[in-house]
Structure 1
Amino acid sequence: MRRFGRTVRAPDLPAEYGVRMAVEEPVTGFAVAVVREDGRWRCSALDPGALTELDAAITELGKLRSTGASFGLLAVDDEFFVIVRPSPRGPSLLLSDAAAALDYDIAADVLDVLRVDPPDEEDDSVWPEGDLGILADLGLPGPELEVIVGEVDLYPDEQLQMVAQRCGFGSEFAKLLDEL
């Protein structure tokens, strides 16, 4: 089965049919690798494919070969973000909005890995799924990350900037975003 970045409603069918079709539609946003080694933070851009496929993001992060902490920050279409933290026993994941799985393959992939069912199409609530303590050892406790995720008036890049500031790599993150 071929998976696409985003699922959209067929434009020529009335909404009451509820028919969805998969079309390849470009996904905007950014994918950033964050590494902390020897007390220093480094941020670098990941391949754009990391925005549409979770496996691509995990593979890209695996190439970093760091002895320190490493993780990925993905902001997708100004809609949601994903934090991916590889480990030998499998990736730790946080999806900022579980409902994004209805429209985005990467969000659906996150829920698949977490073994969480996607929400009903009628449910338009915003809630996170995954490990809210994913960055606790780096200075961002789960309850604080939950507050950041709950700031639904902010765009994902703004939420991730808050994450970066709280963990201590805000200036490196902002500099990279300015270059992208």
Structure 2
Amino acid sequence: MSEQDAVPGFAIAVVREDGKWRCTAMDPGVLGELDAAITELRKVRSTGAVFGLLGVDDQFFLLLRPSPGGISLLLSDAAAALDYDIAADALDLLRVEPPTEDDEEIWPEGALDILADLGLPAAELQVIIGEVDLYPDEQLQMIAQRCGFAEEFGKLMDSIPQ
């Protein structure tokens, strides 16, 4: 992928190990291809929880969580698949048909309970996604707050060039 094809946004790997949170920037190139993001996340070694937060072009976010049996994921706006390859890849992996051009509604697709074991029940995640006036980084900040890694997330976000 060349510089001009780069997708704007950010990708963060989040790790919870021994009761401590750690956030690390992932290569921004992963925003263009879901497989690249999954591969990079799988390289993170931890005995605790590992998941990825991808904020794409101020439009939508993806949560990715590798597991031994595959990957859990959540796409905050299914309609993003009409304009972004990584969102189309996510729907493809979920075996969900992309919405039509006529769909005006925003709805998530995937595992709403992806972070339930870390303190964010599906119903609360649905409410955060429903806050359509917020940018994806603001929604992800709310998720970080609810799960308990807001400080680490905020520090990393401040250091990422926007």
Tell me which interval the TM-score lies in, with the shorter structure as reference length. over 0.9
Pick the aligned partner of 1:176 from 151, 156, 160.
156
Higher helix share: 2
Q: Which residue of 2 aligns with 1:12?
A: none
The alignment partner of 1:86 has SS state of: strand
CA distance in 1, matches of 2:79, 2:15: 29
CA distance in 2, matches of 1:50, 1:163: 21
5 Å-filtered alignment, 1:81-160, equals 81-160=61-140
CA distance in 1, matches of 2:31, 2:11: 6
The alignment partner of 2:70 has SS state of: coil
The percent of aligned pairs where both chains have the same amino acid is 73
| Alignment size in residue pairs | 159
CA distance in 2, matches of 1:108, 1:169: 29
Measured on the aligned residues, the alpha-carbon RMSD in Å equals 1.3
- 5+ residue gaps in structure 2? none
Tell me how far 1:39 sits from its aligned partner: 0.4
Tell me how far 1:65 sits from its aligned partner: 1.2
The alignment status of 1:161 with 2:141, answered yes or no, reads yes
CA distance in 1, matches of 2:70, 2:29: 20
Q: Report the TM-score, using the length of structure 1 for normalisation.
A: 0.86
Larger radius of gyration: 1
The alignment partner of 1:162 has SS state of: helix
- 5+ residue gaps in structure 1? 5-23
Q: Report the TM-score, using the length of structure 2 for normalisation.
A: 0.95
Tell me how far 1:142 sits from its aligned partner: 0.3
CA distance in 1, matches of 2:57, 2:36: 17
